[in-house]
Amino acid sequence: MIALEFIRQSMSSDSGAPAGCAMPQELQLSGLPSIRLGINIDHVATLRNARGGRHPDPVHAAEVAIAAGADSITAHLREDRRHIRDDDIERLMERLSKPLNLEMAATREMIDIAVATRPHAACLVPEKREERTTEGGLDVVEHKKELADAVGELTAAGIRVSLFIASDEHQIEAAAAIGAPAIEIHTGAWCDAVTAGEGAPGAVEFARIAAGAEYARRLGLEVHAGHGLDYLTAETIAALPQVVELNIGHFLIGDALTIGLGGAVERMLAAMRRGRAMAKAIA
């Protein structure tokens, strides 16, 4: 019930949410679309690379996650190859029984790799060499032309493209304008506020995510979400019916150290199912 109460507080009139962030009407519907779980295996590769060799193997971790119920696997092939490597992508394509979502910067090198590899999906993300993890969303407004070219080339290769962006009306509009079929909303600021126990900022951030998800859906975009999600925040955001996919990595790989990756994936799926069910109870 914690997630349900958080949603109610986040969307209440005195939560401090921006104008236009009222509870979407769809939250009151009983018929909800299903929600998928994508598992990011980057940090299995991080652990492997810390010592060298082939153990732990991110491809084997992907297979374990799929066996536990994951709907897809996400892997970020970064320019500096700090975790996932080219041969990991090749082996994932050979062995996976579920779709591969390739996270990538919209660079010439990465576009060529994606076109040659043909993963099911590609999520375009910003990338800075000095960052520990992806720190923010793409600025689609500022880089509209080059992102439009990347979306067009990847789409022509049969790859479904999503753009990793903040829940901002202008960015969402730009994503729709360049022909991206999907967006992934950056949930990091909201998750950080929840973790820190910052109720008011968390309410504002959640209201922004909810409003952006509804706006994107009205523009015809498929809506995904990810970054910083744990069991509680995944349960909460799963109550937004516009969101049809969550991509989660670091938290689950960390929890896998104590309960195993299969157990962590199963626990996450249970949290997401609870969140979907809660949507029916929101007045």
**Catalytic machinery residues:** 76, 103, 227
Residue 55, CA distances (Å) to 49, 60, 73, 82, 236 in order: 9, 10, 19, 15, 34
Going along 136-238, which residue ranges are E strands? 160-165, 182-186, 222-226
Which residues contact residue 255 at a Cβ distance below 8 angstroms, ignoring those fewer than 6 apart? 264, 267
Six token digits for residue 74: 């996400």
Rounded Cα distance, 258 and 219, in Å = 42
Residue in the block written with tokens 């005195």: 14
Six token digits for residue 279: 């949507």
Rounded Cα distance, 211 and 79, in Å = 33
The H or E element spanning position 98 is none
Rounded Cα distance, 96 and 180, in Å = 25
Which residues contact residue 87 at a Cβ distance below 8 angstroms, ignoring those fewer than 6 apart? none
Residue in the block written with tokens 């997630």: 3
Going along the chain, which residue ranges are E strands? 36-40, 72-76, 100-104, 121-124, 160-165, 182-186, 222-226, 243-248
Residue 25 gets which letter from DSSP?
G
